[in-house]
Chain A
Amino acid sequence: MTELNGATENDKVDAVVQGVIFLLTINAKWSKTMKRKINGIVILALMVTAGCSSRSAVTAPEPGGSQAPSPVISSPVTPPVQTIPLPVAPEPSLSVSPSGYGFDQWQTGPLGDVFFDFDSTVLSGEAQNQLKQNAAWLQNHSLDGALVEGHCDSRGTSEYNLALGERRASTAKQYLVRLGVASSRLETVSFGEERPFDTGLGENAWSKNRRVHFVIKK
């Protein structure tokens, strides 16, 4: 019936769809550059037909708006951290007044540090002797445990040194366990190159930093 009066509503829709398809067909046939162009045109056309202004506008998101991530700043810092000190100049030797992380414990504590060669986790004869003394002390003080800290010198990269420090700590722990110290009394941790005993440069400082350090835990 309606056909006799001309196109139906469906046919009109069909015509519109085909009009769009015609543009898509052109899109498929043209070169990449032209594709980009026509894509832009289709989008523009859609914007225009949707009643948008022909002049597009961008609105910057508002900080603290509903989509903004919740604050993760613990304390906002204005231009980079004024309080960070410059690195300490290398000391020629430790002979004057040595100081540094773990020094007191190393100097006076009952459990002596053990030292390693570069990139090594092998226990030297000297290191084994020190560990034997440490094991004897631990067996005489059976209520105390120890934190076994692995450290590295500042050379190499810090990620690798974290892993290396842990291997040093676990090597020392395993040696103590073989000497009869209960494994449950010994906890290992690696500080990599983050807590140097001597912040200087040169083998004199580095050799002091490649160590396993013990902290007694009551």
Chain B
Amino acid sequence: MYGSALCSALKVLRSKPMFAYPIKTFFVMQFYRYVVAAVIIVLCFPFPLLAAEGGEYIAIRKEGSGKIALVLNKLDAPVKDASEQAQSLDTIIHDGLDFTGLFTMISPPLNVKDNSSRVNFGALDSVGAAVYAGGSVTNISGAVSLDMEVYDTSGAKLVLKKTYHGKQQQLRTIGYAFCADLVKLLTGKKSVFGSKILFVSKNKDFKEIYECDFDGHELRQLTNSHSISLTPALSPDGRYLAYTDFSSGRPALYIRDLSSGTTSKIDKSGICIDPGWRNSREVATTLSFEGDQALYLIKVDGSISRRLTFSKGIDLSPSFSPDGNKMAYVSDRNGLPQIFIEDLQSGQVNRLTFSGRYNTQPSWSPAGDKIAYTTWESGGEINIFVIEVDGSGLKQLTGNSGENESPSWSPDGRMIVFASNRQGPKKLYVMGASGENQRPLMQSEGEQMQPCWSLFSP
């Protein structure tokens, strides 16, 4: 491959015809071109490992079992002050990587480092590790540095070497920055690290909106309405939070600018519920001020852009295709609620769901190919299904576990967060996009519901 690079280089170098310059000038210029090209080549090729290996790992993963065998070695703390931080970062990185479901986490063998403290690839090979990650932590008066090295164990190639800095209160941010780099390197795609999950939590008679990290940590309360706040929806750029709230005595829609803290209120007569973002400037919601419960497109300043649905009856729960041109929503135009898709450019409407008598809560996948939704089944269970946008490939993801509601996709499309009462009170759970590995998102008191997973952090 270097050969072909050089051929291309020579072609470029020859591309300007000789006769364009006097002969001496040509040779002098040619000299400059060679010098520039040589300098760039010399600068580049000592570090070919960094970007090049991603594609190879993706190939390995596709052929293999689907999981990457990873040894995450205990972080060193060469200076005593940092041992506490090293231990915390160990846990943060281990749990964060484990959460993604991409890795088989292998315990480091005892002789993972040889006598001269170098990585012992023989030992890694014997435990079946494909990737080794390890590093050290320093803490200088509260400023933490995490030095990480990642090796491809076959061939003992260094594939990532990077230092992450932050304050000691930000260990989670530091650890996730490494996790994000590692997943990007090994899969070629962005990861969930840095994304947020918004949800509703019930406290006595009140419901308030909270947010947490993608893995359930760092809980924060976003509303304090002492009322009922429902259906949080974060704009794709993460700047605006739209939600319904009863603090004025009726369900009104609020759009909060999270960067400035200002809030606009859409307070039409009738209901104003269940927002879904079309893009970061427009949100669709159900209004009934004209009599019928229809979907309208609203701008972030609260003004109505246009009406989207015109059928008689209830239309609600909009969820948009990634390009914003199509909208999945719930309508009871045929009796019980079913999911429809409207093409916003042509106005054409197609019914998506025909299986199940009561289908609600559509959630369009970030890749644009699938829609997750819930079916209320005749036995009383509520279950989550996934269907292709063309109506084919119906697949049930939950079952025999009570009511499973409000599916929302992770930004990388690998996971779905949802609410379930499978163990009594409603709690948040996550699962793989095919329904595998269903587990609680966090340990929490009370009831949580209506999760909304943010898109990638900007």
| Residues of A participating in the B interface, judged by any CB pair closer than 8 Å | 3-4, 6-7, 11-12, 14-16, 18-23, 25-26, 29-30, 32-34, 36-37, 39-42, 44-45, 48-49, 54-63, 69-87, 119, 155-160, 162-164, 166-167, 170, 188-191, 194
Residues of chain A lying within 8 A (CB to CB) of residue B16: 18
Stretch of B64-72, B94-102, B121-129, B196-204 that contacts chain A = B196-204
Given A36-B52, A74-B224: A86 and B424 interface contact (C-beta under 8 Å): yes
Given A83-B204, A163-B314: A189 and B250 interface contact (C-beta under 8 Å): yes
Q: How far is the CA of A190 from the CA of B293 in the complex (A)?
A: 12
The secondary structure that dominates the B interface is mixed
Q: How far is the CA of A62 from the CA of B144 in the complex (A)?
A: 13
Residues of chain B lying within 8 A (CB to CB) of residue A167: 293, 314
Q: How far is the CA of A152 from the CA of B243 in the complex (A)?
A: 21
Residues of chain B lying within 8 A (CB to CB) of residue A166: 270-271, 288, 293
Q: Judging by beta carbons under 8 Å apart, are A72 and B164 in contact?
A: no
Q: Judging by beta carbons under 8 Å apart, are A3 and B165 in contact?
A: no
Given A18-B13, A76-B220: A44 and B1 interface contact (C-beta under 8 Å): no
Q: Judging by beta carbons under 8 Å apart, are B260 and A155 in contact?
A: no
Q: Judging by beta carbons under 8 Å apart, are B47 and A7 in contact?
A: no
Given A40-B50, A162-B251, A189-B250: A77 and B220 interface contact (C-beta under 8 Å): yes
Q: How far is the CA of A54 from the CA of B161 in the complex (A)?
A: 10
Q: Judging by beta carbons under 8 Å apart, are B162 and A157 in contact?
A: no
Q: Judging by beta carbons under 8 Å apart, are B8 and A18 in contact?
A: no
Q: How far is the CA of A32 from the CA of B288 in the complex (A)?
A: 51
Stretch of B77-85, B296-304, B438-446 that contacts chain A = B438-446
25 A-B pairs (CB sep. < 8 Å) = A3-B22, A3-B25, A11-B32, A16-B36, A18-B15, A18-B36, A19-B33, A19-B39, A26-B8, A41-B48, A41-B51, A45-B44, A59-B165, A60-B164, A80-B443, A80-B445, A83-B445, A87-B425, A87-B447, A157-B376, A160-B332, A160-B360, A162-B244, A163-B273, A189-B251
* Binary contact readout B429-449 vs A (1 if CB under 8 angstroms, 0 otherwise): 000000000000011111111
Q: Judging by beta carbons under 8 Å apart, are B173 and A61 in contact?
A: yes
Q: Judging by beta carbons under 8 Å apart, are A159 and B207 in contact?
A: no
Q: Judging by beta carbons under 8 Å apart, are A22 and B37 in contact?
A: yes
5 cross-chain pairs, A with B, having the tightest CB-CB distances, nearest first: A84-B446, A40-B51, A74-B224, A19-B36, A80-B444
Q: Judging by beta carbons under 8 Å apart, are B286 and A55 in contact?
A: no
Residue of A nearest to B54 (CB): A36
Task: State whether the Cβ of B222 lies closer than 8 Å to any Cβ in chain A.
Answer: yes
Given A157-B361, A160-B314: A22 and B9 interface contact (C-beta under 8 Å): yes
* Binary contact readout B234-252 vs A (1 if CB under 8 angstroms, 0 otherwise): 0000000100101001110
Task: State whether the Cβ of B405 lies closer than 8 Å to any Cβ in chain A.
Answer: yes
What is the minimal beta-carbon distance from A167 to any residue of chain B, in angstroms? 7
Task: Choose one: A37, A58, A188; the contact of B48 (CB below 8 Å).
Answer: A37
Task: State whether the Cβ of B330 lies closer than 8 Å to any Cβ in chain A.
Answer: yes
What is the minimal beta-carbon distance from B138 to any residue of chain A, in angstroms? 13
| Residues of B participating in the A interface, judged by any CB pair closer than 8 Å | 1, 4-5, 8-9, 11-13, 15-16, 21-22, 24-25, 28-29, 32-33, 36-37, 39-40, 43-45, 47-48, 50-52, 54-56, 161-167, 169-170, 173-174, 177, 181, 188, 201-204, 207, 210, 219-224, 228, 230-231, 241, 244, 246, 249-251, 256, 258-261, 270-271, 273-274, 286, 288, 293, 314, 316-317, 330, 332, 336-337, 358, 360-361, 374, 376, 380, 382, 405-406, 424-425, 442-450
What is the minimal beta-carbon distance from B280 to any residue of chain A, in angstroms? 15
Residue of A nearest to B258 (CB): A69
Residue of A nearest to B164 (CB): A58
Q: How far is the CA of A110 from the CA of B9 in the complex (A)?
A: 91
Q: Judging by beta carbons under 8 Å apart, are B251 and A190 in contact?
A: yes
Q: A75-B221, A163-B286, A166-B270 are in contact. List 9 more A-B contacts (CB 8 A).
A: A4-B24, A12-B32, A23-B40, A34-B52, A58-B162, A58-B163, A74-B222, A84-B203, A194-B228
Q: Judging by beta carbons under 8 Å apart, are A70 and B261 in contact?
A: yes
Q: How far is the CA of A151 from the CA of B358 in the complex (A)?
A: 19
Residue of A48, A49, A159 with highest tally of chain B CB at under 10 A: A159
Task: Choose one: A11, A48, A75, A80; the contact of B25 (CB below 8 Å).
Answer: A11
What is the minimal beta-carbon distance from B239 to any residue of chain A, in angstroms? 9
Q: Judging by beta carbons under 8 Å apart, are A80 and B201 in contact?
A: yes
Q: How far is the CA of A42 from the CA of B37 in the complex (A)?
A: 12
Task: Choose one: A54, A83, A158; the contact of B203 (CB below 8 Å).
Answer: A83
Residues of chain A lying within 8 A (CB to CB) of residue B1: 30, 34
Residue of B8, B11, B16 with highest tally of chain A CB at under 10 A: B8
Q: Judging by beta carbons under 8 Å apart, are A6 and B40 in contact?
A: no
Residues of chain B lying within 8 A (CB to CB) of residue A71: 261
What is the minimal beta-carbon distance from B125 to any residue of chain A, in angstroms? 25
Residues of chain A lying within 8 A (CB to CB) of residue B21: 3, 11
Task: Choose one: A12, A87, A158; the contact of B230 (CB below 8 Å).
Answer: A158
Q: Judging by beta carbons under 8 Å apart, are B271 and A190 in contact?
A: yes
Q: How far is the CA of A74 from the CA of B337 in the complex (A)?
A: 36
Q: How far is the CA of A69 from the CA of B203 in the complex (A)?
A: 26
Residue of B nearest to A59 (CB): B165
Q: Judging by beta carbons under 8 Å apart, are A81 and B11 in contact?
A: no
Residue of B nearest to A36 (CB): B51
Q: Judging by beta carbons under 8 Å apart, are B293 and A157 in contact?
A: no
